[in-house]
Structure 1
Amino acid sequence: MFDILMYLFENYIHSEMEVVVDHEELTDELTRAGFHHQEINKALAWLERLADLQDSGKTPYLQTSPQAAYRVFTADEQARLDTSSQGFLMYLGQIGVLDFSTREMVMDRVMELDAKQFSLEDLKWVVLMVLFNVPGREDAYSQMEGLLFEEPEGFLH
């Protein structure tokens, strides 16, 4: 399912091509690209849920946005996100890329993925997809895009 999301993001959204809105046409294209119908349906449902998260009436955690909130990861979240991914989410909050609402949107989307393994790179893409879909977060999206594509300089110790 994650491969389909990446395919859609890179080929439609991120490349600024016109997005195909007809589900049948999109499903046909994804099938021709080699994806299975069951996975296509899961990916499209994932994207629909992402769009639904923007409606604060449907997500209780978006109704309030505390200025300073400490995030405690549940056991399931800790099983999905390793310590480097958890630390990266905290870092994104500290530098202002994610706020309370967008962080919870990211966690919601991460936990709905059916990936057996989930890496820090995968998390970065999910953050980018979420920020792309949140109006008014263009600066955070640009900052996250820089974090995703930047190459480290010098030696890493």
Structure 2
Amino acid sequence: MFEVLVFVYENYWHGESCPEPADLQPKLSAVGFDAEEIQDALTWLHDLSLAAREQSVATAPAGAGHSTQEASRTDALAQSPHSLRVYTAAEQNHLGAPCLGFVTFLENAGALPGPLREIVLERAMAAPAYPLALEDFKVIVLMVFWRLGLEPDALILDELCDDGASRVAH
């Protein structure tokens, strides 16, 4: 599944340019991806789109064509800068220390605000790998930024695209 996601990211740099799943599936098959792998990736991308849509509604400014109930939901989702995210045992087991450490790094760098973190974690928990490899987790983070139309800082992007194994200590 992750190879398909990387292919989509590399070939459709802007999320809006990505074709609909019905049009994307034959293109992925023509490239040589397995049908099951394609279906898993398309399902994962569909669920990412749903999460992104919910995020855009939740973070829209109050009075921007939304009801009072939606505005109060936005206020309820606002995160205090002093809040602390506690990971469940299932999240700790599925993601492992490297992925959770990377989330902390992104948060401390200011690259992953709370609402984006929650989308990343939800999509990571939906990934089939157990425990999730850090390289696969980085793909998930890239795909969340991609789908939301956000471009991370160049240094963060470099960190997301770096495999770490090829680094040479100075």
Identical pairs, percent: 30
For 2:112, the equivalent position in structure 1 comes to 98
For 2:44, the equivalent position in structure 1 comes to 46
* Aligned partner of residue 12 in structure 2, secondary structure: helix
Aligned length: 151
For 2:122, the equivalent position in structure 1 comes to 108
Between 97-106 and 142-151, the greater mean CA deviation after superposition: 142-151
For 1:4, the equivalent position in structure 2 comes to 4
TM-score normalised according to structure 1 size: 0.78
Could you tell me whether the CA contact under 8 Å between 2:51 and 2:119 is conserved in 1? yes
For 2:78, the equivalent position in structure 1 comes to 65
Could you tell me whether the CA contact under 8 Å between 2:98 and 2:134 is conserved in 1? yes
Q: Which has the higher helix share?
A: 2
**Structure 1 residue 126 and structure 2 residue 144: aligned?**
no
Could you tell me whether the CA contact under 8 Å between 1:81 and 1:118 is conserved in 2? yes
Between 73-82 and 116-125, the greater mean CA deviation after superposition: 116-125
Could you tell me whether the CA contact under 8 Å between 1:2 and 1:43 is conserved in 2? yes
Deviation at 1:59, TM superposition (A): 8.5
User: Counterparts of 1:6-25 in structure 2 under 5 Å?
Assistant: 6-13=6-13, 19-25=17-23
**Structure 1 residue 35 and structure 2 residue 33: aligned?**
yes
For 2:158, the equivalent position in structure 1 comes to 146
Instruction: Answer with 1 or 2: which has the greater Rg.
Output: 2
